[in-house]
Amino acid sequence: MKHPVSIFLTIFLPVIISLLLHSCANIIPPGGGPRDSLPPRLVAAMPKDSATGIDIHTRNIQLVFDEYVTLQSIQENLIISPLLKNIPTIDSKLRNVMIRLRDTLEPNTTYTINFGDAIKDVNEGNIARNFSYVFSTGRTLDRHSYRGKVFLAETGGTDSTLIVVLHHNLADTAIAKERPRYYTRINRKGEFVFSNLPEGSFAAYVLPNDYTKKYDDSTKIFAFLDGPVHVGPDTKTDTFYAYQEAKRKEKTTTGTAAKPTAPAGKDDKRLKYIASLDNGQQDLLSSLQLTFNRKLAAADTTKILLCDTNYHPVAGYTVSLDTSRTKISVDYPWKENTAFRLMMAKEAAIDSSGVTLSKADTIRFYTQKESNYGSIHLQFSNLDLTKNPVLQLIQDNHIVASFPLTAPELKRKLYKPGTYELRILFDANKNGVWDTGKFFNGKRQPERVQLIPTPFNVRGNWDNQAKVNL
């Protein structure tokens, strides 16, 4: 006869185990919590961060973070100051970043390894932005800084692809022949900062971030200061104005792909033009332009007549050929909502091959109504009139109009509707256009342009007013 305990275990134990297993299978673990939004954090380093007295023959540096990390675009992000002759090898594994130096370090020197945005965690991709590791082969760390801003002189904008470089050699030729001692990036606001600099005097420049880091081409964007930078306890803040001394020439393509298409597979040798009319209407504020498909050898302005609807020539208009010899302009003080006829004889234009227009032509058009335009009234505060300011109105990165300012306000009864970017050119030589700078063979800073951050919107048939604080 079985013992009662044995009977209980035989009958009920399997049931109890099944219930327990079923219950365990439905246990819901605790929630994962909020998404990790913190960047990787340095928890250890060998040698330690900000360590001093580091051996100049040190080859390996190990950085340990609080989570698994990876590297992205390391060569584009990495800046080591002072600049090394050989780029170190940098790898990541699990929570570690390993740096293998290939140069013997300089004695009594503070080194900064700035990773930019290269280090990020594996799981969420959080970036340790502008992470830096610092150490010194001397007894102390250099702790001086130098900061400032960089603007593009011609537009007043900024360019975050540029860098600021520092040279110990103060001679002008150093920027063309030597690599810099230090360099740093410029952010989107045009700001830059050097940290952990030694005390001393440096020549400072702005350059593109290319391999050479030298000013060896006048088409490179460049900026310089009128004197050296004195780095110390009270280093001043500087502003650079970058410019291109010479514009890079655009390459022109040759061959059949560059030729305009011609009917029936033959070259179209006809001389043609396009008139700058908008649905047959002429802008009240600009000239009527005729743009030709080839350069003109000559233009007989006496054979281009601006007439009324009775074909009687009007008084006071002028006809001219521009310097590119591809555009003929007809200038006239247009009145609103008025009909005109532009009569062109066949021989009015002739190209270098002796080809003229295929026939005489008459262009019929109307001028636009004044109600299509808006009036503008701009008031400027803190405007220095002694610097010969010129207001520039910009659309699609092109100057569409400029007005020399002789008073702290500008009024125009008629102006073409649209959204405009405003700039102030400080026109040192009073020639009405921006002039570039020059470094070698006579230093000359570029003329400066200040960008007005708020666009100006002109509405048709509206009194458009704005206050501009410089």
Q: Is the pLDDT of residue 50 over 50?
A: yes
Q: Please give the residue that has the higher pLDDT: either 316 or 36.
A: 316
Angle at 282 between CA 278 and CA 287, to 5 degrees: 115
Distance of CA 115 to the CA centre of its chain: 23
* 428-464 pLDDT, tens digit each: 999 999 999 999 998 999 999 999 999 999 999 999 9
pLDDT of residue 4: 52
pLDDT of residue 37: 85
Q: How confident is the model at residue 172 (pLDDT cuts 50, 70, 90)?
A: very high
* 389-413 pLDDT, tens digit each: 999 999 999 999 999 999 999 999 9
Q: Please give the residue that has the higher pLDDT: either 18 or 313.
A: 313
pLDDT of residue 258: 37
Q: Is the pLDDT of residue 26 over 50?
A: no
Residue found by looking up tokens 């458009």 in the block:
464
pLDDT of residue 68: 97
* 232-257 pLDDT, tens digit each: 999 999 999 999 999 877 654 444 33
Q: Is the pLDDT of residue 273 over 80?
A: yes
What percentage of residues in the chain have a pLDDT greater than 70? 89
300, 306, 307, 312 alpha-carbon torsion, rounded to 10°: -40
| Contact by Cβ (8 Å): 176, 114 | no
pLDDT of residue 269: 84
Alpha-carbon span 292 to 412, nearest angstrom:
32
Query: For the ranges 7-16, 154-163, 240-249, 431-440, which has the lowest average pLDDT?
Result: 7-16
The mean per-residue pLDDT over the stretch 288-313 comes to 95
Secondary structure of residue 36 in the 3-state scheme: coil
Task: Burial-class residue 423 by CB neighbours within 10 Å (0-12, 13-18, 19+).
Answer: buried
pLDDT of residue 33: 56
What percentage of residues in the chain have a pLDDT greater than 90? 86
Q: How confident is the model at residue 57 (pLDDT cuts 50, 70, 90)?
A: very high
DSSP string, 129-180: TT-EEEEESSSS---EEEEEEEEETTTS---TTEEEEEES--STTHHHHS--
The mean per-residue pLDDT over the stretch 110-136 comes to 96
Do the bridges between strand 327-331 and strand 349-351 make them parallel or antiparallel, or are there none, so unpaired? Answer: unpaired
* 184-215 pLDDT, tens digit each: 999 999 999 999 999 999 999 999 999 999 99
pLDDT of residue 250: 62
The mean per-residue pLDDT over the stretch 174-182 comes to 97
pLDDT of residue 248: 79
Q: List, in sequence order, every residue forming a beta bridge with 404; answer none if it has no partner.
A: 390
Q: How confident is the model at residue 148 (pLDDT cuts 50, 70, 90)?
A: very high
Alpha-carbon span 220 to 223, nearest angstrom:
10
pLDDT of residue 23: 45
Q: Is the pLDDT of residue 262 over 60?
A: no
The mean per-residue pLDDT over the stretch 72-101 comes to 95
The mean per-residue pLDDT over the stretch 78-92 comes to 95
**Average pLDDT score over the chain:** 90
pLDDT of residue 2: 47
